Amino acid sequence: MRNLLIAGLLAGGIAGMVPLLNAGATQSAAVPVSKDTQDCLFCHEDLHPGIVSAWRESRHARITPGEAIQVKGLGLKVSSTEIPEQFLNVAVGCAECHTQRSEAHSGTFDHGGYDVHTAVSPKDCATCHAQEADQFSRNLMAHARGNLVNNPLYMDLARTIEGRVARAEQKLEFTPADPLTQAESCLHCHGTELEVVGSEERDTFHGGMEFPVVTGWPNQGVGRVNTDGSLGTCGACHNRHQFSIEMARQPYTCKKCHVGPDVPAYKVYSASRHGNMFSTHGKEWDFKKVPWTVGEDFTAPTCASCHVSLLADASGNEIAPRTHQMTDRLPWRIFGLIYAHPHPISPDTSIIRNADGLPLPTNLDGTFAGDFLINASTMAERAENMQKVCRSCHGSAWVNNFWERFENTIMTTNAATLEASRIMLDIWDKGYAVNHLAGGSPFDEAMERRWSDVWLFYANNIRFASSMAGGGDYGVFADGRYHIAQAIMELNDWFARQKAMDALGNTGQPASKPSLQKAK
């Protein structure tokens, strides 16, 4: 089969060179393509023209690693100090990504005489981008799947959201979602596990061929478990097969998973002054330059400029280094689980246990699980990293006062969540709802879900509005302070009515149930 492909390639007269257009390199007008990648292109140019076209537009197709590694200073994009010799002087093509490290992938299969794996992993990308792969492996995003599926409380919440609901004798029963539903709901962003479960024969241009059957595929979730055991996918932000820096810097890319209402980053950004400037002037910005020069290449931040990108001033001085460990500029974890809290020390949050033995970074009274969270010194260092980015456009007084309001918002939203949690604890203690320590779930009854609204939606929305937009309507009436106050009122009124009914003898004796605290 391999000889057939090569013969067809030569007969077809396909050149082993890729035109070098706008690549930022001047060494040659075209980039050589390896013989192995030429074999891939011979078939896939016709079978998958969209994929091949995206690759031809990529930097991978337009400059060799050997040329890229010669770049000096902040413009260097290749972080590996040693690159295998066979990759140095050819474009990074199909074979360079899909056939290397084939022995490490359980999904490797014979394809036209080549050992191919479908899902390229961060460890494959580490051949040229070692630093980025290492940083990403220490990132919460890389562990997003495990942090969800290995936490029984989070999975219980997921069961009541995406699972199948049925009514029996006036009681609702939730069963866990099937794998296909999970793959297109929570695990769409958190990541599936790619597992080879067999093989199948398909008709192809060259007749019947065997392909692996991989469950969990397709998926571009940030915490995907790959067939080589690695976590995550670079394609979550740098969409395959173009792997564009420009795309990763656009807020639309982050919008895929951060649109809300639980993590309302994009909708808040789009309504902010920064988002307004992007909408108006973004078409004039240069999203490809490395380093990214503030005031020249762009004039207002996107998600990437605050959290990831290598930023420089007009004199070429570094403002913030490139990082793929997203917490490097984040002291606070602001989406409430159940309260905002300092970021975890380990990206594997499933190991966290609060004082009550629950897999939560805080206790139900709002105090932190301190042994598992970063200390004040690390928080201050990360806050300074972020504020350096802010000060590239704003004066110190502006930044300091903005940050003071933001941290005040963390305190006030945590305080509101505490009041809601105290009411919920009273509801559980009186037996009006049944939590998981009493054989039920803390999420499958109406008032429990109303309590969840407080911290899962409303407190989050207020904090994101404070951190990104500086406040305004998204922090008040658009699932903000108005709604958090209303939810607390409803919880309190419902509890008061239940107690009044008890006093009148309308409900009988409430059962004694343990609260969502450590069982005595």
How confident is the model at residue 23, as a pLDDT?
A: 37
Name the phi and psi angles at 225, rounded to 5.
Answer: -95, 115
Are residues 78 and 193 located together in one domain of the fold?
no
How confident is the model at residue 29, as a pLDDT?
A: 55
Say if 198 falls within a structural domain: yes
Say if 328 falls within a structural domain: no
Evaluate if pTM is beyond 0.85. Answer: yes
Residue 13 in this model has a pLDDT that exceeds 60 = no
Tokens of 467: 């951190």
Quick one: angle between helices 396-430 and 446-453, nearest 10?
170
Q: Tell me: the pLDDT tens digits for 210-246? A: 999 999 999 999 999 999 999 999 999 999 999 999 9
- CB contact burial 157-193 (16+ within 10 A = b; e otherwise): bbbbbbbeeeeeeeeeebeebeeeebbeebbebbbbb
Are residues 340 and 450 located together in one domain of the fold?
yes
Are residues 58 and 129 located together in one domain of the fold?
no
Query: Which domain covers residue 162, as residue numbers?
Result: 121-243
Are residues 63 and 187 located together in one domain of the fold?
no
Are residues 70 and 140 located together in one domain of the fold?
no
Q: Tell me: the pLDDT tens digits for 113-172? A: 999 999 999 999 999 999 999 999 999 999 999 999 999 999 999 999 999 999 998 889
Are residues 69 and 171 located together in one domain of the fold?
no
Residue 520 in this model has a pLDDT that exceeds 50 = no
Say if 87 falls within a structural domain: yes
**Domain final residue, candidates 212, 243, 274:** 243
3-state percent helix, strand, coil for the chain, nearest multiple of 5 = 45, 10, 40
Assign residue 120 a region: left if phi > 0, alpha if psi is -120 to 50, beta otherwise? beta
Say if 139 falls within a structural domain: yes
Say if 252 falls within a structural domain: no
**Domain final residue, candidates 208, 243, 278:** 243
**Domain final residue, candidates 224, 243, 262:** 243
Are residues 414 and 502 located together in one domain of the fold?
yes
Say if 494 falls within a structural domain: yes
Give dist(CA 397, CA 410) in Å, integer: 20
Say if 430 falls within a structural domain: yes
Say if 271 falls within a structural domain: no
Are residues 86 and 54 located together in one domain of the fold?
yes
Are residues 93 and 185 located together in one domain of the fold?
no
> Based on C-alpha coordinates, what's the Rg of the chain?
26
The tally of domains found in the chain comes to 3
